[in-house]
Amino acid sequence: MAAYVPPCPQPFTARPPLPELLRRLRRNLLEVWHARHFEEEFFATRVLARRFFVCNSPATVQAAFVQHQAAFERKTPEMRHALEPLVGDGLIISDGLVWRERRRVVAPVTHVSRIGGLAGVMTEAVAERGAAWAARPPGAPLDMLAEMGGTGGGGDLPQRLRPDARR
């Protein structure tokens, strides 16, 4: 069985000229990575004098956001710009006291002991999105930013997961 490859922009195999790299960076942060970057669990690099650390596996994400949170705490304006359409102004793009407060609030809800109880709601939401995508004409483009960010329907998952919405 082939490994799952999530949808992503077509990665480049040779570094593009600087103007092209800047155009890609402005449009979508994922478009600036080389094909090999999508195969690495973790990598660090520089883009325009900014240091980036990219986590491509659950273990490296946990290490960055939980175990070594203080080292990765400060988010750059570029990072906030890239992540906010996908995750909103929440825990992932917070830092400092705001991060600690938000983490304290969501920790009981997202504890491993509670995930099983949320699986039905998450499965239902995924099935709905899958059905909507399957109903589209073959080859029709799909705006994944809108889908994941909420305007396409996928962003309502946090509201569905609220205890009062599951009754």
113's CB contacts (< 8 A; 6+ apart) are none
Residue 148 C-alpha from the chain's centroid? 9
> Which tens digit of pLDDT belongs to each residue from 2-48?
565 666 778 888 888 989 888 887 877 778 888 888 888 898 888 67
Domain locations in the chain as residue ranges: 18-33+45-110, 112-165
* Listed residue (36, 34, 37, 38) closest to 7, CA to CA: 38
- Rounded CA separation 163/109 (Å): 9
* Model pLDDT for residues 102-127, shown as the tens digit of each residue: 888 888 877 888 888 888 888 888 88
- Residue 15's SS3 state is coil
Average pLDDT of the residues in 42-69: 83
Give yes or no for a contact between 93 and 84, defined as CB atoms under 8 angstroms apart.
yes
Distance, CA of 116 to CA of 161 (rounded, Å): 12
- Confidence band, pLDDT 50/70/90 cuts, at residue 135: very high
Closest CA to 151 of 137, 127, 132: 132
Name the helix (H) or strand (E) containing 159: helix 157-161
> For residues 79 and 54, is the Cβ–Cβ distance under 8 A?
no
Record the pTM. 0.46
Alpha helices by DSSP H, listed for 12-156, are 18-27, 58-62, 77-87, 96-110, 112-134, 144-149
- CA angle centred on 102, ends 160 and 107, rounded to 5°: 70
